Amino acid sequence: TAAPAPGLFEEAFRSALDGGADGVVCINISSKLSATIQSAQAAANSLGADARVRVVDSRSVTMGLGMIVLEAARAAAGGASVDEVVAVAEEASSKNRVLGSLDTLENLKKGGRIGGAQALLGSLLSIKPVIEVVDGAVEPGPKQRTRSRALRWLVDQVAAEPKIDQLAVMHGAAPDLGELLDLLAPHFPREQIVVADIGPVIGAHTGPRTIGVSYQKG
């Protein structure tokens, strides 16, 4: 769970630039949850202002970050300039929501990433915590007494949006993945929902059975 060293970023930046890239846009996991962006910025600074390396704070995680990166990649593939790609990434970040249901907050507590969800710790045994990434930090949602109610809360957040451009469900070995997809289907075409595993970086902090949604507001 340690942040990558600046040298790894510098190596990647140099490789891209030496390979003929006009510039590099590096979009990072939220600065409020990781020091990764500090390493990226240090590497960019070491290359100098002429290197055309821009570092962006996604203020998001997991598939929220993924959606922002995809938006930026599409812009780059369409011929956008470095500054235009940065603008697309920042706009996508402002429209992104990440919500999750955890089996326990214990992993977030141990990893020091609990943020405002600290308020839920006193009732760990009697609730199924729901969280949201708000401006890059982990914040608590309303307390849910059962897992099924936690899933319903996730669905209600999606259903309340007037328009959604992209929707993803991400999970860490969640046995009720199919149930959540069924609940979401009336609100968004099921065949267009991206399903992704929560990787080891986020999974180390959220623990097994975590399940969540990420979407871009239209």
Closest among 56, 89, 71, 74 to 166, alpha carbons compared: 71
The single residue listed with the structure tokens 């289907």 is 185
Looking at residue 109, what is its pLDDT?
Answer: 73
Q: Determine the angle formed by the axes of helices 36-47 and 6-18, rounding to 10 degrees.
A: 50
Per-residue pLDDT in tens (0 to 9) along the chain, 218 residues: 889 999 999 999 999 999 999 999 999 999 999 999 999 999 999 999 888 999 999 999 999 999 999 999 999 999 999 999 999 999 999 999 999 999 877 777 777 665 655 555 545 556 788 999 999 998 888 889 899 999 999 999 999 999 999 999 999 999 999 999 999 999 999 999 999 999 998 898 888 999 999 999 99
Looking at residue 95, what is its pLDDT?
Answer: 97
Alpha helices in the chain (DSSP H): 6-18, 36-47, 62-77, 82-94, 106-111, 147-159, 177-184, 200-206
Looking at residue 115, what is its pLDDT?
Answer: 61
Query: Which residue(s) pair with 216 in the sheet?
Result: 96, 166
Query: Which residue(s) pair with 136 in the sheet?
Result: none
The single residue listed with the structure tokens 């959606």 is 67
Looking at residue 148, what is its pLDDT?
Answer: 95
